[in-house]
Structure 1
Amino acid sequence: MKDDMEQYVEALRAAATAGDEYAAVKVAQDAHDAGVSLERLLLDVVAVAQARIGEEWAANRLTVAQEHMATAVNEGVLAVLANTIDTTDHGSAPLKWRLCVACVEGEWHTFPARLLTEVLRLRGWMVDYLGAHVPTRHLIVHLHRTAPDMVALSSSIATRLPAAHSAISACQAAGTPVLVGGAAFGPDGRYARLLGADAWTPDARAAADLLDAGPLPRRHAPGLSAERRPHLASHEYALFTDRKPDLVRGALEELSRRVPETGPRPAEPPVLTAEDVAFTVDFLGTAVYVNDPELFVSYTRWLAWTLTQRDAPPRALTAVLDALGARLTGLPHALDTLARGREATAGSQQAGESSEGEIPPREDGQR
C-alpha cells in the first residue's frame, strides 16, 4: 500500500503542476475507488503532493505562477473530496461539536486550514470554515453569533504572529478556547505556547486526534499573564513598526546602488524585489516581538539558500542587511538579532549549506 500511496502522490503532483484539474481529480477518485479512505486521501496524498509542490517552488524548479496554478488545482481536488464527504460519510449521523476554523488576519495561505476542516468534518464535527485573512474583530463577532465550542486558528507565515497573538487573546476573552497550527508557530509549537494558545498541533491528523475526545476546556482567564511575556508589547517593537517604511526604502536604495541589476528598470527580473525586502523587515520585527533571534536566523539562512538556487549574487542579501543595520540605531534587540542573521547568512554561504528542509512560505507562494 505504501508504494501505491507514493504512486498516487506523484500522479497528483504531476497533474497539479501541469494545471490539469480533471486529471488531478481522477487520481483522487481512482485512489478512493481502490480502497484508500477519504482521510488518508486527504492527509497522505493531497497534503503530501502539495508539500512537494512548495519544495519545487523553493528550489526554483517552479515559477510563482506555476506554484499558484498547482495549488489552485489541489484546492479543486479538496473541493471535490469535500462534496464526497458531505454525501457519503456524514449521512444522518449526528454532529459532535461545533468548531470555527480561520486563518489569522493577514494570512492568505488557506490550504492547511481547509485540510483540517475536511478531516474534522469526516470525524463528525460541525465546522464553520471562514477562509483566509479573517480580521480579529470580525472573528469575534462570529463567535458571539454562533457560540462554537472552540476555535482553530491557522498561520503559515511567522510574520503573522503578532496578529495571531491578538486573535488568540480576543477569542479567549470571549470565552472560546483556541487551538493553533501551521508553520508560523514553530516546528515544536514554541510560539503557540508563548502567545498563550490553549493547544497546538503540528498537522491536521494530530489536531483531529487531539479533538476526538471533544473540545478543549474553557479557561477563566485568557492567555498568559502580561508579566510572563513583557517583550510582546515592548516599546522597541512599537518603534520598529513605526520605522518600517524607512527601513524598507533605505534597503531598496542600497540594493539598487550595490546590485544595479535590481534597480527600477532591470533587464532581468530583480533578484530581490520590494516585496522580498519588506518580508525581510517583517521577519526581523517579528523576531523582536517574540524575543527570539533564531526566528530571523532561520529565515535569513533560507533566503540565502533560495537566492543561491536562483543564481543571485550573495551581495544582494548583504546589501539589504547592511542597510537595515545602519537604520536600527536605538533598537538594541533588533540590532543584535540582525547581527546574528548576518553571521548565519555569511556562514551558510561560505559552507554552501542547504536549508531546503526549512521552507517558510512567502507572500507569493503556498507550501
Structure 2
Amino acid sequence: MASTHSTFKNALIAILATFPSILFYISFLHHHNNEDHSLWNWCNQHPFLLANVMFFLNVNVLFWFIALLQSSLHWMIGLYWMVIPVMLLHFYANHPMAQYNQLRSWIVTILTWIWSIRMLHSYLRRENWQLGVKQDWRYIDMSHQYGKNWWWISFFAIYISQQVLQMGICLPLHVVHSVDKPLNLLDFIATVICIAGVTIAFYADTQLRIFISKNQKLKQLGQPLVPILDKGLWCYSRHPNYFGEQMWWWGLALFGWNLGHSYIFIGAVLNSMCLGYVTMLVEENMVRENYRANAYNLYQKNTSMWIPWLIKSTSNDKGKKN
C-alpha cells in the first residue's frame, strides 16, 4: 500500500515537473508577435538556445532540487530521458520560426513517439510499474565514490551532462523542422534504420526481461541460476538492446544529414561513446559475480559486443554456448 502511495505521489510530481516550461512556451506562442517585448523577440529568433535555457532551468535545476528533497534520489532524469525528445520535437515543430516538409515531419513525429513509448514501456516494466523507488545503479556507484560532495557534484555529473548529450542527439529534430526540402531515398533509408533499431531494442529488452524473471523464480525456489542469456538476439550480440538504441539515433541523425547538416552526427557519436562506457561498466559487473564469471568470459570471447554477428563456436555446455 505504501509503495502504491509513493508511486502515485511520484507520478504526480513527474507530471507537474515540466509545467513551468509548458506554460512558458504556451505564453510565448500566444505573445510572440509582440514587437515591444524583447524577451518574446529573443525567444522568437533563437529556438535552439531557448530550448537549452528551458532545459537548464526546468530539468537541470528543478529536477536536481526535487532529487535533493527526496534524499538524492535521482530517478526523474531517467524517466524524462524518454519523454524530452518528444517534447523537443513538438517544441521545434510549433515554434514560429519552423519551416519544414509536412510529410517528413509526420514521419519523424510518428517514429519519435514509437521510440518514446517503447522506452517508457521497457523502463516501467523494469521498475515493476513503480516510480521513484530506486535509481540508476551508476548513480549509486558515483554517490559512494564522491561521498558527502555528491549532492553538488550530481548536478554536473547527472544533469549538465544529460543536457549536453540529449540536446546533441535531438539536434536532428531541430533540423527537420528548420529546412523545407522534398523527401528522397535517404529519408526512406533513415526510416527503415529507425524502425529496425526500435524493433531490435524492443525484442532484446523483452528477452532480457524474461531471462531475469526466470532467474528470480529459480532464486525463490533455491535452484541454481542460469549464468548468462545467450538465446535469441543475445546469441549474436552481447548487447543487442544497446545496438538497437544506437541504430535509432543514427537513423534519426541521417534525417538531418540528408538536409545538408553534416555536423548532425555529433550527437549520435557522443551517444555511442557513452553507451561504450556503459557497456564496459555492465560487463565489469557481470564478471564480478562468481556464478557467472567463467561463462561470461567465454561469452565475451565468442560473441560480438554490439553488432549482431554469427557465433564463433558452439557447445552443448550452456556456459560455452554463444
TM-score interval, normalised by the smaller of the two chains = 0.3 to 0.5
Higher relative contact order (CA 8 A, sep 6+): 2
TM-score by length of 2: 0.34
TM-score by length of 1: 0.31
